[in-house]
Chains A and B, each alone.
Chain A
């Protein structure tokens, strides 16, 4: 196992970084924020259709490039760094691994090639978005009816829902957790919500006895396999990569500012209090990135194993890191750090919003402790 990127991986990364530095600049992100859309449709189209980002980790048999976890975390990191307003994580890092892990062969054939070419943007309507295992709660029930299924229930927050073409919905069917794919135009009620982090849209989904054809049930055999666990761990890991990237992004903003700002006749970057705080963040970035890339290199789609713990560890550290990087950015900018005009606020909101998704650090540490020490109640 080597943790050095291959030339191809480096090329993917550099190309992505070059593109997003232009297309997801501060001005571009602010346009999306001001518009209230939360998604940059043009940028997303470029990434998903022209550059094939969604095909990265889809096996070749389904029209993808057959690359792996390392490519996903690379791209996620850069998305985070530039706060790219695109549903890449939802589509490529959550929905796609979930489909690969749990969908029937027929459903894979139907959906994955469309994702690979950028024709399908997908959101997943988890019942427990705030938990490590987002399947721990299910608020949607399915029933067999003539000519297919009927879905009933409500999911209060679905990331990227307002922009998705298709929603994957875990639902209880006769007590068994199953997976449904619901097209946006199938009569699903989407209630857009206003997110504090305006760089990523969130919506609520309501299913009022929504009638669906038989092929809308897409799981092969429920949602409880090791492969589903591995898919969830991968989603966590990719989210951690986004957070680590955002930490790098906001730190770069801070470093540029402290190098310019002069007080007491010197650049404030020369004050040791400031140098040390930046250096501390740098150490923490290195720590999280090492964990993310190490775990990605070990990733296996069949068995979460230790990856589950490492991904949770990465999430816990990345949430803490990003929040600290963002709050330090505000502090080290002084008054302008408190303004709408300067960028720290964008990262600060992203920091808090991502922390709450798929469990806060305490939850991840709890899970790891359970694995190391046995359950707490024992």
Chain B
């Protein structure tokens, strides 16, 4: 990814970050990453608008949609440089990376006109309403109902979503709901766009492992989506929902190695300082982390290369499992290097960052398909092993 043709872009981004992530935005460096998502929300929204002024929101979108039309490799360069500079977790990620590309692929002209510009400008923020109390790994077990109002044509939504990241800071939610009464599984679902600021929507933050509340329960009681805010046709919700996840597994994770590398460097720095780096066991673990990160970088390049021969298909499937487990192990290593110091909460920025890493990396192997679901996927799609049987408990 360090190719010649990218180096101009690389330095352009680095320079932009160096001149803009300053002043009041300085406080945002390294903040707001996954698990720390509710840190400094208002300032981060302002930061999104700052990015937008520099045309650095949605750089991968086509130019006629307001993007820069960057290639996948170039987008990774952006992610890497953004991470290297300590760019904060992106409030606009769900709009830019998930619903935006979905609308570009499946949305109507009106939907694109209505929603894309405000995602790009950092004016409207989105959240993802998939998971429910009874639909986690088994996402198709959605119970939230959408019923058509025969008079207005609007969709009336009732039910509960859960673990909805950033809902309390968002303007819109996309919801997977059941529109065919009596349907089960993947059939009879609908993909709806709803404003959160309306009667019939109640958002309750859920406090998470680190004490903050990045995700929420979202209750719908007769909330309304306009008739023209269905993506795809009613009944096609599953198809749209899966396509959206396809976008999620893409670029944002490929660029994250830069911040992983910084975390590892920080751990090495501390291990050198505090003597932990003399322990033979810690040394082995640090070396192992370094090797894993190297491999991850090449794995990402293989994912990116998107080899038309299909040589790498099996390997690409394992990418999420690899990075998430590597990162989780790094969190534990960070604590073990800090030793007793890790037990004390302080505002020493280095320690705080590693404590957050330790706690928040626990989510990496849960969201976006848990470890176990990933392994099922690899076994079934990669190795051709039999599919999991479905039970009868509903």
Contacts and interface: CB of A to CB of B under 8 A. Distances in A.
Indicate whether A and B interact: yes
Given A10-B309, A317-B295, A283 B2 contact: no
Given A362-B284, A365-B288, A269 B299 contact: no
A288 B295 contact: yes
B160 to A, nearest CB: 29
Given A275-B379, A376-B278, A286 B301 contact: no
Contacts of B309: 4-5, 10
- Which of A255, A258, A286, A364: most chain B Cβ within 10 A? A286
Given A4-B305, A270-B386, A279-B375, A287 B295 contact: yes
A291 B294 contact: yes
B226 interface: no
Interface string B288-310: 10111011111101100101010
A278 B318 CA distance: 12
Given A283-B321, A365-B287, A369-B284, A255 B295 contact: no
Nearest to A317: B291
Contact of A287 (B3, B299, B375): B299
A263 to B, nearest CB: 13
B314 interface: yes
A287 B287 contact: no
A313 B293 CA distance: 11
Contacts of A286: 299, 314-316, 318-319, 322
Interface in A30-49: none
Nearest to B371: A276
Interface string B111-150: 0000000000000000000000000000000000000000
Interface string A1-23: 11111000010000000000000
B272 to A, nearest CB: 6
Interface in B344-394: 372, 374-376, 378-380, 382-386, 388-389
A287 B385 contact: no
Mostly, the A contact residues are: helix
Contact of A365 (B284, B297, B318, B322): B284
A290 interface: yes
B181 interface: no
Given A1-B3, A276-B375, A376-B278, A291 B298 contact: yes
B332 interface: no
Nearest to B326: A287
Interface string A222-259: 00000000000000000000000000000000010011
A125 B163 CA distance: 62
A282 interface: yes
Nearest to A10: B309
Interface string B249-273: 0000000000000000000100110
B318 A282 contact: yes
A222 B305 CA distance: 42
A366 B282 CA distance: 10
A310 interface: yes
A111 interface: no
B305 A293 contact: no
Contacts of B384: 255, 259
A376 B280 contact: yes
B277 interface: yes
B283 A366 contact: yes
Contact of A275 (B3, B272, B322, B385): B385
Contacts of A190: none
Contacts of A287: 292, 295-296, 299, 318, 322
A275 B297 contact: no
B166 interface: no
B330 interface: no
Contact of B385 (A278, A283, A317): A278
B379 A276 contact: yes
A313 to B, nearest CB: 3
A153 B372 CA distance: 56
A272 B383 CA distance: 13
A280 interface: yes
B301 A294 contact: yes
B302 A259 contact: no
A288 B315 CA distance: 10
A297 to B, nearest CB: 9
B109 interface: no
B298 A278 contact: no
Interface in A352-378: 362, 364-369, 372-374, 376
Nearest to B264: A372
A294 B379 contact: no
A142 B170 CA distance: 78
- Which of B288, B311, B383: most chain A Cβ within 10 A? B383
B388 A272 contact: yes
A51 interface: no
B286 interface: yes
B305 A3 contact: yes
Given A294-B294, A313-B290, A373-B283, A2 B383 contact: no
B307 A4 contact: yes
A359 to B, nearest CB: 13
Contacts of B376: 272, 275-276, 279
Contacts of A3: 298, 301-302, 305
B185 to A, nearest CB: 20
Nearest to A255: B383
- Which of B290, B295, B296, B309: most chain A Cβ within 10 A? B295
Contacts of B272: 373-374
B195 to A, nearest CB: 41
Contact of B286 (A270, A274, A275, A372): A372
30 contacts: A1-B2, A1-B3, A4-B305, A255-B385, A266-B386, A267-B386, A270-B385, A270-B386, A275-B380, A275-B385, A276-B375, A276-B379, A278-B379, A278-B383, A279-B382, A282-B382, A286-B318, A290-B299, A290-B302, A293-B298, A294-B295, A294-B301, A310-B291, A316-B291, A317-B291, A362-B284, A365-B283, A366-B287, A367-B287, A369-B283
Closest 3 CB pairs of A and B: A294-B298, A313-B291, A286-B315
Given A275-B375, A313-B294, A373-B286, 6 more contacts: A10-B309, A278-B379, A279-B375, A290-B296, A310-B294, A313-B290
